[in-house]
C-alpha cells in the first residue's frame, strides 16, 4: 500500500473516497472536524438526513458529485485522542475495502488535544495498516475478496510546513506496523507450523536482514549448560527447545534494554492437562516471544540509538512419558531449585532462565512479556496488561507509553507477603501456591526471584494478546500487543 502526504483541501484529493471525521456532541455545522469541509452545508445535510450522528465508529456513505464521502464518528469531543484517530482510520479503511474502494483520503486533524501533526499522521497510518491485516496464508480466498484491497491512502495536512514531519511519521508507522504484522503472523500460525525451530529460524532471518547477531542454543546444549527451567518444560515434546538471543547493538547506544519473551508454541498444560475447550487457542502462548522479535526488527529498521537484547525461551509444553511431573524438582540456570506443583505453570519456569541470562548484559531496563496467568484475564479482562515491578520510575514510563499507544497497563502490587505463598518443603520455592489466591501477583513474585537486582518489569499479556472479537484496528485473533508499547518506551527513554 502507498501512503502519501499532501497539503490542501481534503475534498480536492484525487481519491475515490473522502473520509469525513465527525463529532457526536457538536452543533450542526461544527460537527465536522476537517476545516475544509465545515462550509459544505449540503454534505452535512445529507449526512444528517441519513441519520448519522457521529457516535464512535458509526459510518455513513454519501455520494456527492463525482466523489463518495464516508462519514466516520469520533464520539464526544472530550474523548478525542490519538487512539480515536487510529480507530477512525481503521474503521474507514475496512469500510473502504468492504465496498470496493481502492483509494481514500484522511485529514490530519489539528486539534490541540491531539498534539503535533506528526503524531496524528502516525496514528492514522497505524490505524489503516493495522486494520487491513489478514491472516489468510492457509486458506483459499475467493477471487472477489482478493481483488478488494486498498492500494492508496492520502493524508491531508492543513499547512505545507507540516508535510515533512507527517511523511517521516508515516514511514515510522510503516516500520512499526510491519513488526506488529510479523508478530501477528507468528501468533496466528498453527503450532504444527510455528514450532520452536520456526521461531529460531525467524530470529535468524531477522538477524541476517538487519545485520544483527543471533545466537540459538539448541536443546542438547541447554541441558549441558544447566538451563533447567526450559529443559524441564521441553522434555515432554518431540520438538527440541530453542533458546534464542537476538542482539541489536548500534554504535554509541544510549541505553541497554533486555526484553524476555515467553515462547511456548503450544501449551497443553503438560501432565496437568488443560480442559479441551478452546485449547486450540494455546498456539498464542508464544505472544511474548513474537512481540520481542517484532520489537527488535522494528528497532533495527528505525535505527533507535539503544542496544536491545531479545531473549526468547521457545518450547512446547506437552504430556508424554518423558514430560516433567507434578512433584518434580528442577534446578534453574540461576542455581535455584523449583518444586513443580503444576506443570501448567510452565511460563515462569522458562522465563526464570531468560531473566537470569539477561544479567550478563547489565541492562538499564529488563521487561518480560508473557501470556502467563488466567488470573490476569479474570482481573483485568482484555483491556489492560498486568504490570508488576518494584520500580516506580519504570512503572511510570511504561504506563505513559501505554497511554500513548493505547496498549494500556494496570499496576498490581509486589509486596513481600506474597513471597511466603511460594515456599516449598523440598526446594527453594515452588512454581504455584496452594491457595489459589493472587495468581498473577504470585507468578510475578516467582519471576522476581530470578530478576534479582535488575531494573525489571513483568507484563502479563494473557488477556490482551488474543482478541475474541474484531475491533477497529485489531482483527479477531492475534493482536501483536507489546510491539508499539516497547518502541514508545525506548523512544521516550532516550528523550528523557
| Cα 479 to Cα 483: distance, rounded to the nearest angstrom | 10
Q: What is the DSSP letter of 29?
A: G
Task: Retrieve residue 46's grid coordinates.
Answer: 445529507
Residue given cell 473502504 in the structure block: 96
C-alpha count within 13 angstroms, C-beta hemisphere, residue 404: 21
Q: Are 270 and 324 in contact (CB under 8 A)?
A: yes
- DSSP for 68-110, please give it: EEEEEE---GGG--HHHHHHHHHHHHHHHHHTT--EEEEE---
Residue given cell 535488575 in the structure block: 454
Cα dihedral across residues 84, 87, 93, 94: positive or negative:
negative
Q: Are 282 and 198 in contact (CB under 8 A)?
A: no
| 228 bridge partner residues | none
Residue given cell 498456539 in the structure block: 283
| Cα 43 to Cα 50: distance, rounded to the nearest angstrom | 11
Helix then strand count (H, E) for the chain reads: 14, 19
- Count of Cβ atoms closer than 10 Å to residue 273 Cβ: 13
List active site positions: 274, 348
Closest by CA position to 198, among listed 282, 260, 268, 290: 290
Q: Are 172 and 119 in contact (CB under 8 A)?
A: no
Residue 48 buriedness (CB in 10 A; 0-12 / 13-18 / 19+): middle
Q: Are 135 and 193 in contact (CB under 8 A)?
A: no
Helix residue spans in 189-272 (DSSP H)? 196-210, 219-225, 228-234
Letter string b/e over residues 286-323, b meaning 16 or more CB atoms within 10 A of that residue's CB = bbbbbbbbbbbbbbbbbebebbbbbbbbbbbbbbeeeb
Amino acid at each position: 500500500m502507498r501512503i502519501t502526504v499532501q497539503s490542501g483541501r481534503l475534498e480536492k484529493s484525487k481519491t475515490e473516497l473522502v473520509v469525513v471525521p465527525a463529532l457526536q456532541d457538536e452543533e450542526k455545522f461544527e460537527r465536522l472536524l476537517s476545516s475544509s469541509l465545515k462550509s459544505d452545508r449540503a454534505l452535512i445535510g445529507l449526512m444528517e438526513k441519513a441519520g448519522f450522528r457521529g457516535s464512535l465508529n458509526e459510518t455513513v456513505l454519501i455520494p456527492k458529485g463525482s466523489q463518495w464521502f464516508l462519514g466516520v464518528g469520533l464520539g464526544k469531543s472530550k474523548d478525542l485522542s490519538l487512539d480515536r484517530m487510529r480507530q477512525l482510520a481503521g474503521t474507514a479503511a475496512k469500510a473502504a475495502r468492504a465496498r470496493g474502494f481502492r483509494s481514500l483520503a484522511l485529514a490530519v486533524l489539528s486539534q490541540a488535544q491531539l498534539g503535533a501533526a506528526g503524531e496524528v499522521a502516525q496514528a492514522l497510518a497505524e490505524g489503516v495498516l493495522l486494520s487491513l491485516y489478514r491472516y489468510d496464508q492457509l486458506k483459499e480466498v475467493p477471487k472477489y475478496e482478493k481483488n478488494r484491497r486498498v492500494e492508496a491512502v492520502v493524508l491531508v495536512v492543513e499547512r505545507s510546513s507540516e508535510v515533512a514531519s507527517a511523511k517521516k511519521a508515516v514511514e515510522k508507522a510503516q516500520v512499526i506496523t510491519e513488526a506488529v504484522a510479523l508478530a501477528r503472523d507468528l501468533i496466528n500460525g498453527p503450532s504444527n507450523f510455528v514450532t520452536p525451530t520456526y521461531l529460531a529460524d525467524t530470529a535468524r532471518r531477522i538477524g541476517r536482514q538487519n545485520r544483527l547477531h543471533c545466537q540459538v542454543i539448541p536443546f542438547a546444549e541447554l541441558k549441558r549448560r544447566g538451563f533447567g527451567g526450559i529443559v524441564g518444560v521441553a522434555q515432554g515434546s518431540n520438538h527440541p527447545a530453542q533458546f534464542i538471543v537476538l542482539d541489536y547493538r548500534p554504535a554509541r547506544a544510549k541505553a541497554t534494554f533486555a526484553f524476555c519473551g515467553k515462547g511456548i508454541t503450544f501449551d497443553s498444560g503438560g501432565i496437568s492437562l488443560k480442559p479441551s475447550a478452546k485449547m486450540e487457542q494455546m498456539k498464542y502462548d508464544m505472544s511474548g516471544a513474537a512481540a520481542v522479535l517484532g520489537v527488535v526488527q522494528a528497532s533495527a529498521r528505525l535505527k533507535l540509538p539503544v542496544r536491545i537484547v531479545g531473549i526468547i525461551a521457545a518450547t512446547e509444553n506437552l504430556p508424554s512419558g518423558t514430560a516433567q511431573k507434578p512433584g518434580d524438582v528442577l534446578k534453574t540456570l540461576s542455581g535455584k531449585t523449583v518444586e513443580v506443583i503444576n506443570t501448567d505453570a510452565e511460563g515462569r519456569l522458562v522465563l526464570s532462565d531468560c531473566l537470569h541470562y539477561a544479567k550478563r548484559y547489565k541492562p538499564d531496563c529488563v521487561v518480560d512479556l508473557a501470556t502467563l496467568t488466567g488470573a490476569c484475564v479474570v482481573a483485568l479482562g482484555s483491556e489492560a496488561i498486568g504490570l508488576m515491578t518494584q520500580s516506580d520510575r519504570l512503572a511510570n514510563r511504561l504506563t505513559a507509553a501505554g497511554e500513548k499507544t493505547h496498549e494500556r497497563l494496570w499496576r498490581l502490587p509486589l509486596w513481600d507477603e506474597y513471597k511466603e505463598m511460594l515456599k516449598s518443603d523440598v526446594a527453594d520455592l515452588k512454581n504455584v501456591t496452594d491457595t489459589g489466591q493472587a495468581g498473577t501477583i504470585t507468578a510475578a513474585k516467582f519471576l522476581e526471584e530470578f530478576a534479582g537486582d535488575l531494573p525489571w518489569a513483568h507484563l502479563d499479556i494473557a488477556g490482551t494478546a488474543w482478541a475474541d472479537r474484531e475491533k477497529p484496528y485489531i482483527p479477531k485473533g492475534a493482536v501483536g500487543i507489546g510491539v508499539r508499547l516497547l518502541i514508545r518506551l525506548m523512544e521516550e527513554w532516550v528523550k528523557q
